[in-house]
C-alpha cells in the first residue's frame, strides 16, 4: 500500500525464489521496511517497483508476478487502487515482468481484450485457504519438476512446455460485475454507465467490478483471440456440481459423502472434470453428473455474476437436472432438499441485459481515482489578496501574522522571488532564516521552482544555527571545529567535571544551554575578567535599551551561582581544548563576534540586506539579539509567524518578542493571513474555541478555503492499550482495509471512505515519546507500516556514527573526540594523553604528512596501532576532494574490513539521501548532521503512518490526525513540584489540532500506566473547551 502520482496504490504481488537462503535474504531486507510477521500477507509501504528491485538484487533467479491483476482492491490494474498499465506500475523495471496472474475474477478471454497484455504469460493459482481450494485454479506445465524449468516455460510461453491454465468461471468471482452488496444491486457495466456510477438504492458510488475495468482499458471487442494465446480450461469444483444435482449445500454431509465416493471410484477430481470419458462418469456417478460435466466442458453454464464481494453463482441446469435430461437414477431419486444459505447473504438478481444506450450516456468510468482535495496550500494558482499585499510590501519592516495552514512558507518564498525578479535585488543579498533543516530544504526547493538556477543558489536559506556556523567559519575561529551533539556534550562535561553523575550532568547541560540562550558569557582562559561587561558593551544604538536591561536581569540568576559558573567555565575549557563548539555556541559566539568586531557586523549587514525569518514567535533572547544585530534598522526585515503556535518556552523561546516587533521597529507594517488552505472549517472552529481561552492574545478568525462536512471525534477507551488498538483499527477502516478479510467480513465499509487514503495520510500525535511504546506494539501486531519520529536519530546509530567519525576527522584532524572513537578497539579507547599525542603530530606535520606518524603516538596499544595504521591507509587512498557518496561508501567499507557492525541497508540509504544535496561539501554536510532536529527525522516519502510528538509535528500536516492522551496530566502536562505552563500547553494542543486537514480524533483513556505510575486522570480541560466535543 503506497502512494504514486498522488494516488493510493494497493497491490498484491507474488515473489518466487529458488532457495531458502534467498528467502531469508529478502526477509531481512523487507523487515527493514515493515512488519512481515503479522500474517501471511505482509503489508508494506513499499512501491511495487521498489519491491521488484529488491527481488532482483537478492537473487538473479528471483521472479515476480503481479497477483490477480483485475481485482478492484489490491491489484495492479484494479479499479480502486491500481494502474492503467504494467509500465505505469513498474516503470524502468517493466522488462523483468513476464507473467501475470488472472485471479478468480478474470479468465484469459477477458485479458485478451487488452492488447498490451499479449506479451505476458497468463498464470493461475489457487488461494491456499484450505485443501479443498487447491487446484480450482492452476497452471499446467509440460516440463520436468524443477524451479528453473517452470520459470523458463513461463518466460517463453512455449506450448511444448507451457500448457495453459485451469480457470474458475470468472462470473463466480466476488468482483465480476458492478454493484452494491448492501443494496442487493448487481449491474452490468453498461447499467452502471446509465446510472452515472451511482447506486439506484442509496445513491453512493457502486463498487466497480472487473468487467467494468476491463471495458475501460480494452482496445479489442469481446471474442478476439490473439495469435499466440494459450489454451485454458474453465472448471467448476466437483462439490459444487454435486451440490446443484443434489439440491443441498456443497459442504453438506450428503455432498461430501458422494464427493469422496466418486474420488475412490473414478480417480482425482481434476481428472474427472477435465479428462475422464463421459461414459465412465455416467457409469460411476450417474447420467445427470455426466451431463453436467459435459456442459461445463463446453462452457454451457448459467451465471449470477459476483459483485461487491459477493461470490457469483454458476448453474449447469436452469431447471431440475433430472427433468432436463429426461430421466434419473437412484442416486438423485430422493426428494430434493431446500438449498441452504451456507452463510451467504441473499442473492441479488442480475438485471436484464440493458438496451443500447444513447450517445449522450455517461462514458464508461476509466478509473475510480479521484484526487483527494489535499491541502491546497501548494496547489492554488495565485496568492490571495492578503498574501499579495505581503509579497509586494518592501518599503518598511514587515510582520506577517500567519495562522496555521495560511500559506506562510509560500508567501515568504514568493516575496523573495518578487524582490529578485521585480525589484532587481541581488539574490546574494537575500537571507532567509528558518527553525528546522527540513523547513530550510523546503524553502530552498520552492525558491528553485520560482527562480532560475543561478539566482536560487545564491539566496542564503539556513536555520539560525546553520547561519551561525557559516558566519563563524568565515569570520570567527571555527573553520575547522567540531560541532557536538548531545552525546558528545555529555561526555565532555563529565570529563571536565568527573564528580557529576549522568543525571546531574544532563541537568547541568540543560542549564548551560539556558545560560547561553540568555547570552551568559564566560571566558575559559581569562578568569579574572568580569564577564558581565560583555553584555554592557552592546551599545544602545544596536539593541534597544529595555531589551538590554531585561537581558541583564535574566542573567543575574546565573552569575549569582558561583558553583554553576565554575562548572560552566570548566566545560568551556574542554570545548576549546577539543576544538569543539556546542549547539548554542553557534548563536552566542556570533553575537559576541558582532559586538566585538564592527568590521564583521558591517560586512554581514552589507551582505544580508534583505532578511526574512520564519517562525518568529519561537526566537529566544540570543536569536533575537543576533537578528537585531544583523537587521540594523530593520527596514528590509520581514518576520512571519503565529504567536498562538509558540510552543518552545521550555527551550528559552519567548513569544513576547513577536508582540514587541512594532516597538522594536516603529514604522513596521503588520499584516494578517487568515485564509486556511489546510483544514476543514469544523476543525478550525474547534481549535479556535480552545486557543481563545488563552489570555493576552489577538483574536484572528481562520476561514477554510473549502467547505466540507468532516468529523471531529472524541473517543474514550478503558485503558491506554485499548486506546492504541482503537487507533490501529480506525486507520485500517479509513485506509479501506488492509486485506480481503477486512473488506469482506464487514470490519471495514468501503462506502464510508469515498476518498482513498494511504498510510502516509495518518499521524498519531502524543505529548511525550514515552507514549509511543504501546502504539508501536499495536501497529506491529496489525502489520500496518509506520515510522516513529523522534526516537533514536539516524546519526546516533553506532555504525552511522562510526562513518561520521571518519568524515569529521577528514574535516577537522584536531577533533579529539572523533580520534578517540576511531582508535577505540574492542570498546577500549586510547588514553587522553595518547589522543593529545595524535593531534599534536598532525598539528606539527600536517594531516597527510602526519598520518603515517600517528602509529608512534604515546601510549597506544598494539591493537590501537594496527587501527591507526589502517586509518592512515584509509585517508591516504582517498582522492583530494571526494564526493560525499564516495566518502560514505569508503568509510562503510573500512569499518566492515575492521570487523565492526555495518550500517543497515535502510540507514545507508537514508544517509546517502541526506548527503546527496551537498555534493562534495563535506563541512556543510557535517554541520547539518550536528544540527539535526526531531522534525528532520520525519520522512514524508515513506508510505507509513507517522507516530510523533506534537512538538515534532509543528509545520506538518496530515489528512487524518489522532491525538492520544487527551487527559489532564498529559495534555496539559501537570508536572509535580512545579507550576504548569497552561498557556503554552494550550498552544501545544492547538498545534496538534491544526495539523489535521480532514479528520481529527481526540483519544483518551480512563486508566493509563505512564512513567511507571498508574494514572486515572479526567478528560483534558482543552477537550472540554470544544463545544461539539
Place of cell 582508535: 823
Provide CB contacts within 8 A for 465, sequence distance 6+.
Answer: 583, 586, 587, 931
What average pLDDT does this structure show over 249-256? 92
Residue 532 Cα to chain centre, angstroms: 48
Confidence check: pLDDT of 864 > 50: yes
Angle between helices 253-266 and 238-246 (to 10 degrees): 120
What CA–CA distances, in Å, run from 692 to 627, 683, 685, 731? 30, 14, 10, 31
Q: Are residues 617 and 502 in the same domain?
A: no
Among residues 931, 948, 968, the one where a domain terminates is 931
Of the two residues 522 and 181, the one the predictor is more confident about is 181
Asked if residue 942 lies in contact with residue 47, where contact means CB atoms within 8 angstroms, the answer is: no
Other CB atoms within 10 Å distance of the CB of residue 86: 20
DSSP-derived 3-state class of residue 445: helix
Which span out of 397-401, 759-763, 901-905, 924-928 was modeled with the highest average pLDDT? 397-401
Other CB atoms within 10 Å distance of the CB of residue 476: 20
Provide CB contacts within 8 A for 805, sequence distance 6+.
Answer: 818, 821, 822
Kindly state whether residue 659 falls inside one of the protein's structural domains: yes
Confidence check: pLDDT of 905 > 90: no
Q: For the chain, give the mean pLDDT.
A: 84
Confidence check: pLDDT of 17 > 90: yes
Kindly state whether residue 188 falls inside one of the protein's structural domains: no
DSSP-derived 3-state class of residue 1004: strand
Kindly state whether residue 735 falls inside one of the protein's structural domains: yes
Q: How many CA atoms lie within 13 A of 388 on its CB side?
A: 5
Q: Cell for 320?
A: 431440475
Q: Are residues 764 and 905 in the same domain?
A: no
What average pLDDT does this structure show over 658-662? 91
Of the two residues 755 and 928, the one the predictor is more confident about is 928
Q: What is the pLDDT of residues 688-736, one digit of tens each?
A: 999 999 998 888 888 988 766 676 899 999 999 999 999 999 998 888 6
Confidence check: pLDDT of 275 > 50: yes
Kindly state whether residue 901 falls inside one of the protein's structural domains: yes
Q: Are residues 148 and 92 in the same domain?
A: yes
DSSP-derived 3-state class of residue 283: helix
Asked if residue 604 lies in contact with residue 594, where contact means CB atoms within 8 angstroms, the answer is: yes
Q: How many residues does the chain have?
A: 1029
Give the model's pLDDT for residue 326. 53
Host domain of residue 162: 2-177+207-217
Q: Are residues 810 and 923 in the same domain?
A: yes
Confidence check: pLDDT of 116 > 90: yes
What average pLDDT does this structure show over 732-745? 58
Kindly state whether residue 682 falls inside one of the protein's structural domains: no
Confidence check: pLDDT of 1028 > 80: no
The DSSP string of 815-854 is -HHHHHHHT-BTTBPPPHHHHHHHHHHHHHH-HHHHGGGG
In the structure, what pLDDT confidence band is assigned to residue 41 with cuts at 50, 70 and 90?
low
What average pLDDT does this structure show over 464-476? 90
Q: Are residues 92 and 166 in the same domain?
A: yes
Kindly state whether residue 192 falls inside one of the protein's structural domains: no
In the structure, what pLDDT confidence band is assigned to residue 325 with cuts at 50, 70 and 90?
low
Percent with pLDDT over 70 in the chain: 86
Residue 444 Cα to chain centre, angstroms: 21
In the structure, what pLDDT confidence band is assigned to residue 917 with cuts at 50, 70 and 90?
confident
Other CB atoms within 10 Å distance of the CB of residue 977: 4
Select from 78, 80, 354 the least CA-distant residue to 195. 354
Q: What is the pLDDT of residues 580-590, one digit of tens each?
A: 899 899 999 99
Confidence check: pLDDT of 530 > 70: no
DSSP-derived 3-state class of residue 772: helix
Give the model's pLDDT for residue 547. 52
Among residues 673, 693, 719, the one where a domain terminates is 673
What average pLDDT does this structure show over 810-834? 88
Q: Are residues 725 and 820 in the same domain?
A: no
Asked if residue 661 lies in contact with residue 639, where contact means CB atoms within 8 angstroms, the answer is: yes
Tally of structural domains, the chain = 6
Q: How many CA atoms lie within 13 A of 558 on its CB side?
A: 26
Q: What is the pLDDT of residues 929-981, one digit of tens each?
A: 888 776 766 777 677 899 999 999 998 999 999 999 999 999 999 988 888 89
Confidence check: pLDDT of 766 > 50: yes
Q: Are residues 973 and 921 in the same domain?
A: no
* Plot region of 757 (φ>0 → left; ψ -120 to 50 → alpha; else → beta): beta
CATH code at position 952? 3.40.50.300
Q: Enumerate the H helices of 578-678 as residue ranges.
A: 585-596, 598-607, 621-631, 656-659, 661-664
C-alpha to C-alpha distance for 815 and 834, rounded to whole angstroms: 13
Kindly state whether residue 173 falls inside one of the protein's structural domains: yes
C-alpha to C-alpha distance for 238 and 430, rounded to whole angstroms: 78
Select from 299, 307, 294 the least CA-distant residue to 348. 307
C-alpha to C-alpha distance for 932 and 463, rounded to whole angstroms: 10
Q: Are residues 95 and 112 in the same domain?
A: yes
| Torsion angles phi and psi, residue 650, rounded to 5 | -65, -15
What average pLDDT does this structure show over 146-159? 96
Give the model's pLDDT for residue 903. 83
Among residues 909, 931, 953, the one where a domain terminates is 931
Q: Are residues 607 and 459 in the same domain?
A: yes
Give the model's pLDDT for residue 922. 87
Q: Are residues 125 and 32 in the same domain?
A: yes
Q: Are residues 775 and 916 in the same domain?
A: no
Asked if residue 512 lies in contact with residue 573, where contact means CB atoms within 8 angstroms, the answer is: no
Percent with pLDDT over 90 in the chain: 49
Kindly state whether residue 415 falls inside one of the protein's structural domains: yes
Q: What is the pTM of this model?
A: 0.72
Q: Are residues 8 and 106 in the same domain?
A: yes
Asked if residue 875 lies in contact with residue 810, where contact means CB atoms within 8 angstroms, the answer is: yes
Give the model's pLDDT for residue 334. 41
Give the model's pLDDT for residue 344. 32
Amino acid at each position: 500500500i503506497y502512494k504514486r502520482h498522488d494516488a493510493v496504490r494497493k497491490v498484491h504481488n507474488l515473489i518466487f525464489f529458488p532457495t531458502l537462503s534467498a528467502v531469508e535474504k529478502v526477509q531481512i531486507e523487507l523487515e527493514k521496511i515493515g512488519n512481515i510477521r503479522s500474517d501471511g500477507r505482509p503489508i508494506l509501504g513499499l512501491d511495487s517497483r521498489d519491491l521488484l528491485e529488491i527481488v532482483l538484487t537478492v537473487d538473479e533467479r528471483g521472479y515476480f508476478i503481479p497477483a490477480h491483476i483485475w481485482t478492484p482492491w489490491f491489484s495492479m490494474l484494479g479499479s480502486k487502487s491500481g494502474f492503467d498499465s504494467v509500465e505505469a506500475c513498474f516503470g524502468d523495471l517493466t522488462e523483468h515482468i513476464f507473467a501475470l496472474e488472472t485471479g478468480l475474477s478474470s479468465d484469459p478471454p477477458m485479458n485478451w481484450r487488452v492488447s498490451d497484455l499479449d506479451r505476458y504469460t497468463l498464470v493461475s493459482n489457487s488461494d491456499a485457504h484450505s485443501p479443498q481450494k487447491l487446484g480450482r485454479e492452476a497452471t499446467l506445465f509440460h516440463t520436468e519438476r524443477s524451479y528453473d524449468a517452470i520459470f523458463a516455460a513461463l518466460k517463453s510461453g512455449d506450448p511444448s512446455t507451457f500448457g495453459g491454465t485451469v480457470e474458475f468461471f470468472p462470473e463466480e468471482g466476488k468482483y465480476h460485475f458492478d454493484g452494491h452488496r448492501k443494496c442487493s444491486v448487481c449491474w452490468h457495466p453498461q447499467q452502471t454507465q446509465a446510472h452515472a456510477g451511482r447506486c439506484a438504492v442509496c445513491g453512493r458510488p457502486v463498487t466497480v467490478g472487473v468487467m467494468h475495468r476491463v471495458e475501460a482499458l480494452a482496445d479489442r471487442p469481446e471474442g478476439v483471440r490473439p495469435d499466440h494465446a494459450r489454451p485454458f480450461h474453465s472448471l467448476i469444483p466437483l462439490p459444487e456440481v454435486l451440490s446443484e444435482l443434489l439440491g443441498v449445500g456443497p459442504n453438506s454431509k450428503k455432498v461430501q459423502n458422494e464427493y469422496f465416493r466418486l474420488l475412490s471410484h473414478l480417480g482425482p477430481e481434476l481428472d474427472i472434470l477435465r479428462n475422464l470419458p463421459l461414459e465412465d462418469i455416467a457409469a460411476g456417478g450417474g447420467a445427470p453428473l455426466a451431463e453436467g460435466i459435459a456442459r461445463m466442458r463446453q462452457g454451457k453454464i448459467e451465471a449470477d455474476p459476483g459483485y461487491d464481494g459477493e461470490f457469483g453463482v454458476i448453474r449447469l441446469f436452469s431447471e431440475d437436472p433430472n427433468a432436463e435430461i429426461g430421466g434419473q437414477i437412484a442416486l438423485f431419486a430422493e426428494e430434493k432438499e431446500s438449498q441452504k444459505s451456507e452463510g451467504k447473504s441473499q442473492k441479488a438478481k442480475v438485471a436484464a441485459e440493458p438496451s443500447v444506450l444513447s450517445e449522450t450516456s455517461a462514458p464508461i468510468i476509466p478509473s475510480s481515482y479521484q484526487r483527494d482535495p489535499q491541502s491546497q496550500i501548494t496547489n492554488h494558482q495565485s496568492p490571495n489578496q492578503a498574501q499579495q499585499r505581503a509579497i509586494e510590501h518592501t518599503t518598511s519592516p514587515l510582520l506577517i501574522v500567519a495562522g496555521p495552514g495560511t500559506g506562510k512558507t509560500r508567501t515568504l518564498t514568493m516575496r523573495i522571488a518578487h524582490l529578485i525578479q521585480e525589484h532587481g535585488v541581488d539574490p546574494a543579498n537575500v537571507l532567509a532564516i528558518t527553525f528546522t533543516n527540513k523547513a530550510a530544504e523546503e524553502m530552498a526547493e520552492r525558491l528553485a521552482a520560482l527562480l532560475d538556477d543561478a539566482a536560487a543558489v545564491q539566496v542564503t536559506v539556513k536555520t539560525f544555527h546553520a547561519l551561525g556556523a557559516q558566519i563563524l567559519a568565515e569570520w570567527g575561529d571555527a573553520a575547522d571545529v567540531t560541532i557536538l551533539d548531545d552525546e558528545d556534550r555529555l561526555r565532555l562535561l563529565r570529563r571536565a567535571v568527573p564528580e557529576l553523575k549522568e543525571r546531574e550532568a544532563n541537568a547541568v547541560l540543560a542549564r548551560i544551554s539556558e545560560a547561553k540562550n540568555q547570552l551568559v558569557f564566560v571566558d575559559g582562559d581569562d578568569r579574572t575578567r568580569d564577564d558581565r561587561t560583555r553584555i554592557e558593551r552592546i551599545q544602545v544604538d544596536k539593541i534597544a535599551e529595555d531589551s538590554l536591561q531585561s537581558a541583564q536581569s535574566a542573567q543575574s540568576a546565573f552569575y549569582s551561582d558561583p558553583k554553576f559558573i565554575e562548572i560552566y567555565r570548566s566545560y568551556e575549557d574542554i570545548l576549546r581544548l577539543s576544538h569543539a563548539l556546542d549547539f548554542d555556541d553557534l548563536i552566542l559566539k556570533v553575537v559576541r563576534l558582532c559586538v566585538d568586531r564592527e568590521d564583521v557586523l558591517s560586512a554581514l549587514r552589507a551582505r544580508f540586506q534583505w532578511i526574512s525569518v520564519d517562525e518568529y514567535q519561537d526566537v529566544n533572547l540570543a536569536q533575537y539579539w543576533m537578528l537585531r544585530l544583523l537587521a540594523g534598522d530593520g527596514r528590509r526585515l520581514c518576520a512571519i509567524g503565529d504567536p498562538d503556535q509558540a510552543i518552545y518556552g521550555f527551550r528559552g523561546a519567548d513569544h513576547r518578542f513577536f508582540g514587541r516587533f512594532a516597538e522594536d521597529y516603529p514604522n513596521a507594517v503588520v499584516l494578517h493571513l487568515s485564509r486556511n488552505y489546510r483544514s476543514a472549517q469544523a476543525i478550525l472552529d474547534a481549535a479556535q474555541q480552545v486557543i481563545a481561552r488563552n489570555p493576552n492574545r489577538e483574536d484572528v478568525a481562520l476561514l477554510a478555503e473549502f467547505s466540507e462536512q468532516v468529523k471531529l471525534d472524541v473517543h474514550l477507551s478503558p485503558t491506554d492499550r485499548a486506546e492504541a488498538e482503537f487507533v490501529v483499527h480506525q486507520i485500517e477502516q479509513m485506509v479501506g482495509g488492509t486485506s480481503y478479510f477486512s473488506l469482506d467480513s464487514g470490519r471495514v465499509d468501503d462506502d464510508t471512505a469515498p476518498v482513498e487514503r494511504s498510510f502516509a495520510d495518518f499521524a498519531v500525535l502524543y505529548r511525550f515519546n514515552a507514549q509511543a511504546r504501546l502504539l508501536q506494539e499495536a501497529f506491529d501486531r496489525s502489520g500496518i507500516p509506520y515510522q516513529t519520529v523522534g526516537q533514536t536519530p539516524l546519526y546516533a546509530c553506532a555504525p552511522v556514527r562510526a562513518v561520521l567519525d571518519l568524515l569529521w576527522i577528514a574535516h577537522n584532524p584536531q577533533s579529539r573526540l572523533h580520534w578517540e572513537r576511531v582508535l577505540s578497539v574492542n570498546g577500549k579507547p586510547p588514553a587522553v594523553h595518547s589522543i593529545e599525542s595524535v593531534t599534536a603530530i598532525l598539528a606539527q606535520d600536517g594531516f597527510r604528512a602526519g598520518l603515517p606518524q600517528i602509529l608512534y603516538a604515546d601510549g597506544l596499544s598494539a591493537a590501537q596501532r594496527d587501527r591507526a595504521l589502517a586509518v592512515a591507509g584509509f585517508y591516504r587512498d582517498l582522492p583530494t576532494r571526494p564526493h560525499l557518496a564516495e566518502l560514505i561508501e569508503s568509510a562503510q567499507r573500512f569499518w566492515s574490513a575492521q570487523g565492526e557492525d555495518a550500517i543497515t541497508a535502510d540507514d545507508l540509504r537514508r544517509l546517502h539521501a541526506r548527503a546527496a544535496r551537498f555534493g562534495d561539501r563535506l563541512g556543510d554536510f557535517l554541520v547539518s548532521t550536528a544540527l539535526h532536529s526531531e522534525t528532520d527525522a520525519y520522512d514524508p516519502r515513506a508510505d507509513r503512518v507517522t507516530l510523533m510528538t506534537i512538538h515534532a509535528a509543528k509545520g506538518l500536516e496530515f489528512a487524518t490526525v489522532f491525538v492520544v492522551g487527551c487527559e489532564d496530566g498529559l495534555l496539559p502536562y501537570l508536572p509535580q513540584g512545579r507550576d504548569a505552563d497552561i498557556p503554552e500547553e494550550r498552544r501545544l494542543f492547538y498545534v496538534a489540532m491544526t495539523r489535521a486537514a480532514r479528520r481529527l480524533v481526540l483519544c483518551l483513556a480512563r486508566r493509563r500506566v505512564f512513567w511507571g505510575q498508574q494514572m486515572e486522570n479526567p478528560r483534558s480541560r482543552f477537550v472540554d473547551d470544544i463545544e461539539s466535543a
